[in-house]
Structure 1
Amino acid sequence: MTAGRAGLGRRVACFRSIARPRMTQQRLADRAGVALGTIRKIERGERAASPRMLETLADALGVDVPRLLGDATATCAVRDALPAISDAIAVYDIPTDGPVRPLSRLAGDVQQCTAWRLAAQYKRVAHAAPDLVPELARALHQADEADIEQVAALLVSAYRSVDATAYKYGARDLSARLIELMRWAAARCSDPLVAATVAYVRTEIFFAARAHRAGLAALETAIDRAPAPTGPATAAARGALHMRAAVIAARAGDATAARVHLAEAERLTEHAPEGLYGGTAFGPDSVRVHRVAVAVSLGGDHVGEALAAAHAWKPPTDMPAERRSGFYIELARAQLWAGRPGYAFESLTAARRIAPLHTREHPWVRHDVATLRRLRRGAAPALTAFAEWCHAV
C-alpha cells in the first residue's frame, strides 16, 4: 500500500461518509457504475485509481477531482475564467465585431444566467459570460432607440450575474468594475426598478471595504429615490433595499437603524409575497433570513436573537439556493458562538448540500470550520474531510 493510495482511499471514505443521504460503499459503487469490490480496494488503499476512475468517483461523490486528490492549491474553473471575463467587459463601450442574436434569444440567455446565479452555479455563469457580455454590448451599440432600454436592462442583469461570481470568488476589483458597468448601463434605462437593483448590488463594494456607514448612507439615499410601493414589484424593490440596509447597519454596529430597516422590510411584505422580483428574492421568508443575518452581524448579546429566529424553521426549498445556503452559514456562526459546535457543523453541512460552490468559497465557512477543528481535538473524519474540501487546512 502506498501513501498516495492510502490518502485517496481515506478521502473517498470521508466524502462518502458525509454525503446526505449517507452513502454506503454499495451506493457509491452503483452511482459510479463500478464493482463493489473496486470501491472496497480503493478505500483500503489496495488499488490505484486511473484518471477516468477519479473523475467517475468525484462525480458520484459530488466533489472536484483535486479535492479527492487532496490538492488544496488546485486551480479553480471559475478563477481560471476570470481573465477572460475581464477582457470581455473591457470593450463595453467599443464592442468588438460579431453577430448579435434576436433580443428574445439574448433575453433567454440572460434569464438562464440569473437562474444559475440564484442557484449558486457560478461555473456556468463564468463559462457563459465571455461570449454573452460582449454580444450584449454589441446589441446595445447597434440597438434602435426603441430597443435601447430593453437591451440596457438585459446588460445590467448579465453584469449582475457575472459580478456575483467574481465577488464570491474574491475578485473584488473585478466585482467593483462590474458594478460600475451596471451603473453605466442602468443610466441608459429609465426604469427606476433597475436603478434600485443596482443600488442593492452596489452595497457589495461597501461590504468589501468595511465602509459600513457609507454603505448605509448610500442605501438610504437609494430608498428615498425608489418608487412608491404601489404594487408587489415596487414594494419588493424598496423592501430588498431595506433588508440590505438592515444588514449593513448591523455591521456598522447601529442596532437601532438595523431594527428600523428590518421592520420596514417586514411591513412591505404585506404587499409582496415571497418570490423573485427583478432577480432578487423578497418576501416574508427572505426577511426572516435577514433577521438572522442582522443578529449575527450585531453579534454579542444578539446571538440569541439569531437562534430564536431560526428555531424550528427552515427556508423553503423554493427559495434560491444561494440565499438558503447563506442562512445556514449565518446560523452556523451563531451556533458556534453559542457553544453549540455540533449544531454548527450540521448547519454548515446543510449549506454545502444546498449550494456547494457558495459554501466552499465563503470566508466565514473556512474560519468557522478551522475553529471547529481547534475546539474538537481529534476531529472526526467528516469534519476533517469538510475542512479539506473548503480549503480550511
Structure 2
Amino acid sequence: MPHYSDTGGSVESNGQRLARLRARRRWTQQRLATEAGYSLAAVRAYEQGRRSLDRPQIVLAFAKALDCHPTEITGGPYVPVSSDTEGQSAVAAVAAVRRALLRHGRPARPEEHEAAVVDLAELRRRVTEANGFRQAAALAKSGAVLPALLRDLQVACEVTEGDQRREAFGLLTSGYECAMQYLYKLGHTSDATLATERVVWSARETGDPLRVLAAHWYDAGEFLSIGEHDEAGAIIDDALTDLGALRERRPEAVSLRGAFHLKAALNSARAADAQAAESHWAKAKEAAEELGEDRNDFQLQFGPTNVAIWGVSLPVELGKGRVAVDRADKLRLPQKFSSERRSHYFIDVGRAYFYNGQREQALGAFLKAERLAPQATRMHAGVRETVGTMIRTQKRGELVELGIRLGVV
C-alpha cells in the first residue's frame, strides 16, 4: 500500500519505484533477480516494502541491471514538506546556485565597480563563512550566500593575475566544494556532479599539486555513487601513486593519503569486497596514527576520530549491523566535530540498529541526527527508506512524527 504526504499525494517507497522500473522494461521479478544477482524472495520483499532497500550497494546492483540512475530508485531530489519552512528555504536557492555553476568558464563580464572592489581578504572571509555553514549542515544559510559568493569569486579569478589569481582559484575551488555539498545534501545529484567538475577544473588553476589531488577525492566519489567501481578505483590508485611520488611528509599530504584510503575502503564496500574495505581502512588508521590529530585539510576531515567513524560506516555499507554497533559503542565523538559529520554518523548508527532489529535504538539515532542537521537528515535517502519501512511494518508515536517531517507518511 502506498502512503501519503502532507500534500495528499502518494509517496512511493524505493521498492515501489523498483517495481515500476522493472515493469517499464517488461521484466518479471525472476528476471530482475537473475540480472541483479539477488533471490526472487528478496526482490519480492523489496518491492512490497517488507525489506528496506536502503543500502547503496543493493540499489546500485538494481540500477545497473535496469540501466537507470540510482536516484530513479531512491527518488531524489525530495521536496520538503510544507511545514518545514527551513527546508523550503534551503531548496529555494538551488536554481541560483545552478546558474552560477553554469557560468563557470564563461567571461564574467564584471561591471567596473565589481572589478574595482575585488578584495581577496574579504572573499577569504566569506568562503570561511560558507564552509562554516557547510560543516554546520546549515543548508538554508548555504543557499543564501552561495550564488553571490560564486559570482564574486569568478570575477576575482578573471581580474587578478599571478599569485593573486592562483589564490582566487583556490577560493573558487572551495566555493564550488560548498556548492557541491549543498546540492548533494538536497538530493540534486546531477547539479552536484556539475559542481564537482568545476572543483576539479578550478583546482588545476591553483598550481598546487595537493589541491589538485584533493579535488580528485570528490571526482572518485562521483563514479562511486553510480557504481563505476573500477573507474573510482583507478582515480584513487592514481592519486595515491602521485602522493607517493611527491614524497610529501607535511600533515596535509598525510591527511590526504589517509582520506584516499577511506574513499578506497568505501568503494570496496560498495563493490561487496569486505576484505579490501578492511585493508584500506587499516591503512587509513596507520595514516591517522602518523598524523596524531584530527585535521580538516582541504575541507576533508581526517584523523583518528574520523577513521573510527568510518569504522562504523563501512560495516553498515556491508550490511553488518552488529559489527557497526559494537564499534559505535566504543566511540565517543568530540563535541568540536562538525554537525554535518556527527549527524551522518548517527544516521549510520541508526541504520546499523535497524539491521539488528533494534528499532527503538534506530529511531533514537535518527532523531539525534535530525537534531544536529534537520534538513540533511530529512533529505537522506537511507533515512527516508528505513523510516518508511519501519512505519509500514510497525507504526508508533515518535516514529510516525519523524515520518511526517521526512515526508514519507
- Global fold match (TM > 0.5): yes
Q: Percent identity at matched positions? A: 26
| Distance change (3 Å), C-alpha of 1:314 and 1:375 | farther
The answer for the alignment partner of 2:332 in structure 1 is 314
The answer for the alignment partner of 1:89 in structure 2 is 101
- Kindly indicate whether residue 215 of structure 2 is the aligned counterpart of residue 198 of structure 1: yes
Count of matched residue positions in the alignment of Structure 1 and Structure 2? 323
Give yes or no for contact 2:127–2:175 (8 Å, CA) kept in 1: yes
Partner amino acid for 2:407?
Answer: H
The answer for the alignment partner of 2:366 in structure 1 is 348
The answer for the alignment partner of 1:175 in structure 2 is 192
Partner amino acid for 1:390?
Answer: L
The answer for the alignment partner of 2:403 in structure 1 is 387
Q: 1:106-137: CA deviations, max 9, x gaps?
A: 01101111111111111111111111111111
What's the RMSD between the two structures over aligned residues? 2.0
The answer for the alignment partner of 1:255 in structure 2 is 274
| Distance change (3 Å), C-alpha of 1:204 and 1:169 | farther
**How far apart in 1 are the matches of 2:238 and 2:90?**
34
The answer for the alignment partner of 1:334 in structure 2 is 352
Partner amino acid for 2:163?
Answer: A
Partner amino acid for 2:297?
Answer: Y
Give yes or no for contact 2:130–2:178 (8 Å, CA) kept in 1: yes
**How far apart in 2 are the matches of 1:236 and 1:260?**
17
Give yes or no for contact 1:120–1:321 (8 Å, CA) kept in 2: yes
**How far apart in 2 are the matches of 1:198 and 1:360?**
27
Q: 1:341-370: CA deviations, max 9, x gaps?
A: 011001001111111121111011111111
Q: 1:15-50: CA deviations, max 9, x gaps?
A: xxxxxxxxxxxxxxxxxxxxxxxxxxxxxxxxxxxx
- Kindly indicate whether residue 317 of structure 2 is the aligned counterpart of residue 297 of structure 1: yes
Q: Residue 93 of structure 2 aligns to a residue in which SS?
A: helix
Give yes or no for contact 1:89–1:134 (8 Å, CA) kept in 2: no
Q: Residue 203 of structure 1 aligns to a residue in which SS?
A: helix
Q: Residue 76 of structure 1 aligns to a residue in which SS?
A: helix
Q: Residue 162 of structure 2 aligns to a residue in which SS?
A: coil
The answer for the alignment partner of 2:283 in structure 1 is 264
1:90 CA drift (Å): 2.1
State which drifts further: 208-217 or 86-95: 208-217
Q: 1:47-75: CA deviations, max 9, x gaps?
A: xxxxxxxxxxxxxxxxx993279xxxx98
Q: TM-score, normalised by structure 1?
A: 0.78
| Distance change (3 Å), C-alpha of 1:286 and 1:75 | closer
Give yes or no for contact 2:312–2:324 (8 Å, CA) kept in 1: yes
Give yes or no for contact 1:281–1:320 (8 Å, CA) kept in 2: no
The answer for the alignment partner of 2:143 in structure 1 is 126
- Kindly indicate whether residue 228 of structure 2 is the aligned counterpart of residue 211 of structure 1: yes
**How far apart in 1 are the matches of 2:88 and 2:401?**
18
Which of 354, 362, 379 is residue 361 of structure 1 equivalent to?
379
Give yes or no for contact 1:213–1:252 (8 Å, CA) kept in 2: no
**How far apart in 2 are the matches of 1:160 and 1:96?**
23
Unpaired segments of 5 or more residues in structure 2? 1-5, 7-79
Structure 1 segment 87-126 matched on structure 2, within 5 A: 87-93=99-105, 94-98=107-111, 99=114, 100-126=117-143
**How far apart in 2 are the matches of 1:352 and 1:229?**
40
Q: 1:222-257: CA deviations, max 9, x gaps?
A: 222224451321111111111121112101111122
Partner amino acid for 1:168?
Answer: K
1:312 CA drift (Å): 4.1
- Kindly indicate whether residue 230 of structure 2 is the aligned counterpart of residue 222 of structure 1: no
Q: 1:67-100: CA deviations, max 9, x gaps?
A: 279xxxx982232211111212222221131414
Q: Residue 147 of structure 1 aligns to a residue in which SS?
A: helix
Indicate the structure whose relative CO is greater, using CA pairs within 8 Å and at least 6 residues apart. 2
**How far apart in 1 are the matches of 2:224 and 2:119?**
37
**How far apart in 1 are the matches of 2:365 and 2:247?**
38
Larger Rg computed on CA atoms: 1
**How far apart in 2 are the matches of 1:283 and 1:368?**
30
Which of 162, 169, 189 is residue 206 of structure 2 equivalent to?
189
1:216 CA drift (Å): 2.3
The answer for the alignment partner of 2:300 in structure 1 is 280
1:269 CA drift (Å): 0.9
**How far apart in 1 are the matches of 2:359 and 2:380?**
18
Unpaired segments of 5 or more residues in structure 1? 1-6, 8-63
Q: TM-score, normalised by structure 2?
A: 0.75
State which drifts further: 382-391 or 225-234: 225-234
Partner amino acid for 2:355?
Answer: W
| Distance change (3 Å), C-alpha of 1:68 and 1:92 | closer
Give yes or no for contact 1:67–1:388 (8 Å, CA) kept in 2: no
